[in-house]
Amino acid sequence: MDLNYSPSELAFQAEVRGFLADNLPRDISDAVRHGDEVGKEMSERWHAILSAKGWLAATWPVEFGGPGWTPVEKHIFEEECCRAYAPRIVPFGLNMLGPVLQKFGTKEQQDSILPRILSGEDWWCQGYSEPGAGSDLASLKTRAVRDGDHWVINGQKTWTTLGQHANKIFCLCRTNPEAKQQEGISFILVDLDTPGIEMRPIRLIEGGHEVNEVFFTDVRVPYGNLVGEVDKGWTIAKYLLSHERTGIAGVGFSMQSLEEVKALARKVRRNGRPLAEDPLFAARIARAEIDLEAMKITNLRMLFKAQEQGAPGPETSILKIKGTVIHQELKDIARRALGPMAAPFPGHVTEGNIMFGPSDTEMNAAKYFNNRKTSIFGGSNEIQRNILTKAALDL
Amino acid sequence: MDFNLTQDRRMMADSLTRYLADQYPVTHRMKIAYTLPCHDAAKWGELAELGVLGALVPESAGGFGGAGADLAVVFEALGRVLCPEPMLGAAMAARLLIAAGAECDALIAGTTRYAVALGEPESPWDLTDITCTATAKGGAHVLSGRKGAVYGGQAADTVLVAAKLDGRLALFAVNTSDARTVAYPMMDGGGAAEVLLDDTPAILLMADANAAIMDATNAGIVALCAEAVGAMEVTLATTVDYLKTRKQFGVAIGKFQVLQHRAVDMLTEIEQARSITIKAAAELGGPLADRSCAMAKHLIGRAGRMIAEEAVQMHGGIAMTWEYPISHYAKRLVMLDAQLGDTDYHLSRVMAAYAA
Ligand SMILES: Cc1cc2nc3c(=O)[nH]c(=O)nc-3n(C[C@H](O)[C@H](O)[C@H](O)COP(=O)(O)OP(=O)(O)OC[C@H]3O[C@@H](n4cnc5c(N)ncnc54)[C@H](O)[C@@H]3O)c2cc1C
């Protein structure tokens, strides 16, 4: 057993760190650190920098333009990106549609679509969830009916993350209402410029706009936009969901949050001493740090297993459950540290030019509330437990 | 033993609940809560007419309530609808004015709106080390310093300010228009202000205000705890409704036992929260008030976060939206912890008694 990175992994880590130091634009890392919205322009600029280096599509094989990293290298890359306050890679094209097309797409689809993901020409969003189909995704109702060379789509998708920036959406549609639920679904690509599509913003708990509703009324798309076989979209959907999602534990983000919380506890002064000297507060940080220390190893153990066996097991659900809870706890501590200084609604905190706590903390309450989403999406933590109940415990 | 409300309090609870349901529904709340001044002056006048402000003041000072149980009745009703009006300041100010032998008439009538400024950025709850200082100047006093998160300060006519005078904790009244205030809506709705004092003229109310400030803080804690209990109950009821109506996998999600048990855990926590609030309300003004209020605020802080997080989680995405009211209940239940001492602060107060 050896818990250390190998010499080549260490060299890789140093290379990534050096690259980020030289190439991550300061305004972008500042925005991430500050909790500002990383808008379309910044995301695209950062994607382009990584793309030029050949590091954008971390999960893609070399033949499609990926860097050909091992799971551990992917992990190192993500960890370093978090340390440097790089923005998250927008996953819909790169980590979702890309792998799907590589496995299920036609040669023509691969050739025409994958390069546009790498170049940033297309911004994809994910049209899975519907108002009536969340955890029970297979009950989705959006209909696609074949009409000659076209599909005609009617229905509604919701929770579409960053759809406001996207020009394309991949959708799960019902193509055979007679068949068993899972057997009548198809995976269809849609251009968001197509007539009949309307996108409306959904405002989230903390006030931000990151998700949308998308309405489809007689939307006609070419028949060739189907990926894989008709009525076999569920296999693709499952592949996408269970496809190795590096960073599902969010260890890098939690490490980032932990460092922030420690620095904050040293900076915030309460009754003549730093908050870090308050044993109750320090205990909160320590508990989270201990959980995270274990999670780092749990994560590496599972990466190692995936590397040995070629595929991750159902244990990734453990990473999702515990990883999100640790991160949410750290966000709670960061908000808590400010006490009443966390009260102002974001956007008002600089009014009158007075400080409300140490710099870069004015979004702490907003981030705490926003992060409640992580235990809900991507398969809620309850659904992950259902998976483990069966797959890990055979109950 | 009798856990029933007295007839007067029941009537207050009923009429206030009816008024708020008619006049301060969620739709109205959303118009007021996040836009300065986060205050509806007309509705404030109506609340005063209804006797809500009078219920915060004892008969001896011209009101018809003033006990812990009166505060609890009023604030529980306000909490149920997340009313953003600056009532906390009124409840605390009433006790301070009475302790100082000052009039409460304008407070009861709703014509003077009060806020209470105790904490500072580096001493939000424990006032031993506050830096706001009073100096005598030509027979009167001036104050200098910064008061942080003054709830209701954005809409107040008068702010009651805690400041050091000759090394002691004293209480002053400041006209809001004489001070520089930086007003803001809060994360969970309602308004507050930073009050910046710089040789600001002030009227001395009490030269030694320690005990009175403690008592007013306890009253504020009872109010916040009751407000939280009201908000928790609505949160649970809404969650249970949702569990019954939301279908996934062909059944109402409330059929999943894991969610049933978690809803029951919420119920249990709320019963505990109600009990500790009743206890704190009963002890208000008496020798056990400090201890009971510390216990209550600690438990409410813990339960508030649990109820908020569980409600959101069991709803799924919908409770993450601004449009669905539970998101606002969740924010209130979480943010309320930072008012008048958070769960850790009050835990350490309870712990401190063990060593003595
Ligand atoms: C911020 C955000 C961004 C999102 N982005 C996208 C996106 O880009 N594209 C997209 O397609 N979707 C997206 N989603 C949707 C997300 O995947 C769903 O919210 C999620 O699948 C849960 O569905 P739901 O919200 O309908 O909750 P429901 O499925 O209605 O669940 C409600 C509650 O019931 C529980 N529950 C459900 N079934 C069971 C069961 N069998 N046993 C026990 N408990 C159960 C759930 O865990 C939850 O607590 C996003 C959601 C959010 C909040």
pLDDT digits 0-9 by tens, A120-136: 999 999 999 999 999 99
Q: Could you read off the pLDDT of B159-187 as tens digits, one per residue?
A: 999 999 999 999 999 999 999 999 999 99
pLDDT at residue B258, as a whole number: 98
pLDDT (tens digit per residue) in A238-264: 888 766 555 788 899 999 999 999 999
**Residue the block writes with tokens 């805690």:** B162
Given a cut of 90, is residue A312 above it in pLDDT?
no
d(CA A269, CA A265): 8
Residue appearing with tokens 């708020």: B20
A226: its two tokens: 């189907």
The residue type found at B39 is: H
Query: What CA–CA distance (Å, rounded) separates B339 from B172?
Result: 21
Which residues, 6+ apart, have CB-to-CB distance to B79 below 8 Å?
B226, B227, B228, B229, B230, B231, B234, B332
Same domain, B275 and B239: yes
Owning domain of residue A129? 124-233
Give tens-digit pLDDT for B289-334: 999 999 999 999 999 999 999 999 999 999 999 999 999 999 999 9
**Distance (Å, rounded) from C-alpha B79 to C-alpha B313?**
21
- Of the candidates A266, A290, A261, the one whose C-alpha atom is nearest the C-alpha of residue A278 is A266
Within 10 Å of residue B249's Cβ, how many Cβ atoms?
A: 12
How far is Cα A145 from Cα A175, in angstroms, rounded to an integer? 6
Q: At which of B182, B209, B236 does a domain end? A: B209
Domain boundary among A89, A109, A141: A89
Per-residue exposure over B308-334, b if at least 16 CB sit within 10 Å of its own CB, e if not? bbbbbbbbbbbbbbbebbbbbbbbbbb
State which residues form the domain around B44: 7-112
**Cα first-last separation, chain B:** 32
Residue A1 domain-assigned (yes or no): no
Pick from A135, A169, A192 the residue to mutate for probing ligand 1's pocket: most ligand atoms within 8 Å of its CB. A135
Q: Is the pLDDT of residue B207 over 60?
A: yes
CA distance A176 to A224: 18
Q: Quick check: helix, strand or coil at residue B143?
A: strand
CA-nearest residue for atom 49, ligand 1, is B314
Least Cα distance to B93 among B23, B182, B5, B157 occurs for: B157
Domain count, chain B: 3
- B188 with B300, same domain: the answer is no
Q: What is the pTM of this model?
A: 0.97
What is the per-residue pLDDT across B29-56, written as a single tens digit (0 to 9) for each?
999 999 999 999 999 999 999 999 999 9
Last residue of a domain, one of B152, B183, B209: B209
Q: Using an 8 Å CB-CB cutoff, list chain A residues near B148.
A: 340-341
Asked if the structure places residue A116 within a domain, the reply is no
ipTM for the whole predicted complex goes beyond 0.90: yes
Residue nearest to atom 38 of ligand 1 (CA): A135
The answer, yes or no, to whether residue B356 has pLDDT greater than 70, is no
CA of residue A130 to ligand 1 center, whole Å: 10
Q: Which range has the worst mean pLDDT, A27-36, A325-334, B302-311?
A: A27-36
Spatial contact of B197 and B132, defined as CB atoms under 8 Å apart: yes
Under 8 Å CB pairs connecting chains A and B tally to 143
> Would you mind telling me the total number of residues written for chain A in this entry?
395
pLDDT band at B254 (very low <50, low <70, confident <90, very high): very high
Residues of A within 8 A of B243 (CB-CB) are none
Report the distance separating Cα A197 and Cα A252, nearest Å: 37
Residue B1 lies in a domain: no
Of A207, A233, A259, which closes a domain? A233
Strand-pair partners of B181: B195
Q: What DSSP letter does each residue of A241-303 carry, written as one string? A: HHS--TTTT-HHHHHHHHHHHHHHHHH-EETTEEGGG-HHHHHHHHHHHHHHHHHHHHHHHHH
| Nearest atom (ligand 1) to Cα of A380 | 47
Q: What is the pLDDT of residues A337-383, one digit of tens each?
A: 999 999 999 877 665 667 788 888 889 999 999 999 999 998 999 99
* The predicted structure's pLDDT at residue B210: 97
| Final residue before a domain boundary, out of B185, B209, B233 | B209
**In this complex, is the C-beta atom of B38 within 8 Å of any C-beta atom belonging to chain A?**
no
Tell me the C-alpha distance between B149 and B154, whole Å.
10
For residues B231 and B254, state if they share a domain: yes
Residues 6+ apart with CB under 8 A from A335: A342, A364, A365, A367, A368, B334
Give me the number of domains chain A comprises: 3
Structure confidence at residue A302 (pLDDT): 87
Q: How far is A169 from chain B (nearest CA, A)?
A: 20
* B250 and B331 part of one domain: yes
Are A19 and A46 found together in one domain?
A: yes
